[in-house]
Amino acid sequence: MKILLAEDTADLNKVICAVLAHEGYDVDPAFDGEEAMEHINTEGYDCMILDIMMPKKDGIQVLREVRAKNILTPVIMLTAKAEIDDRVAGLDAGADDYLSKPFAMKELLARVRALTRRKTEYTQNDLTYHDVMLKSQTFELASENSVRLSVKEFELMQLLMLHKERALSVDYIMEQIWNREPDVQPDTVWLYISYLKRKLRAIASETVIEGSEESGYMLK
């Protein structure tokens, strides 16, 4: 699973990344709020860990921007303060959980596991369409190159490949991928379609995703 870690203290960032990587997570580190948003605008994540006190943009600002984009990824807030106001501000902005520093790495891992449990059974078979392979065990999308997908990216690509060359409506996609998340909006589908389009270009595939919110989306 893919995780974004935004923590401006370099040593702590390095330690958390190492612990998460050791547990099998694919981690992108960021050291300020603007760098975090750059990652968020180009990648899909299964969990985000945001420090509240960061330069350029603090964790609350980043979280508000994330939720304003209708990105429903679970978010854990880190704070050096144990004050109730910080917790309330984070939860009001759309955080799913918080941890006060200092914290035990075992507790952080437990919180991450709780927020990233897979709720869908995936086909165990690798899927192939034209020059693209979707690997079910590693969540890799492969052609000339390969990239690792987040869970939602994988689910969406799987859905498109299982219905290849058939236009899927936005409502159908939301029902299949985000059925347990009542706050999902069509913009979320568009965002993840844009993520997958970038990934297809990154692996040098000739396969494209065509369509729009009105006509639906399909692989060609």
Query: pLDDT (tens digit, 0 to 9) for every residue of the chain, 220 residues total?
Result: 899 999 999 999 999 999 999 999 999 999 999 999 999 988 889 899 999 989 999 999 999 998 888 787 889 999 876 565 666 676 677 788 888 888 899 999 998 988 877 544 455 678 899 899 998 877 889 999 988 888 888 889 999 998 887 889 999 998 888 877 777 788 888 889 998 999 999 999 999 999 888 889 999 8
**Is residue 32 a part of any domain in this protein?**
yes
Q: Are residues 17 and 76 in the same domain?
A: yes
Last residue of a domain, one of 115, 148, 172: 115
Buried b / exposed e over 174-206, threshold 16 CB at 10 Å, is bebbbeeeeebeeebbebbbebbeebbeebebe
- The whole-model pTM stands at 0.71
pLDDT at 119: 47
Q: In what order do the strands lie in the sheet with 140-142?
A: 127-129, 132-135, 140-142, 146-148
Q: Are residues 66 and 156 in the same domain?
A: no
Q: Are residues 139 and 209 in the same domain?
A: yes
Number of independent structural domains in the chain: 2
141 and 198 in contact (C-beta within 8 Å)? no
**Is residue 121 a part of any domain in this protein?**
no
Specify the pairing of strand 127-129 against strand 47-51: unpaired
pLDDT at 71: 81
Domain containing 145 equals 127-219
**Is residue 122 a part of any domain in this protein?**
no
Q: Are residues 84 and 144 in the same domain?
A: no
- Report d(CA 29, CA 10) in Å as an integer: 10
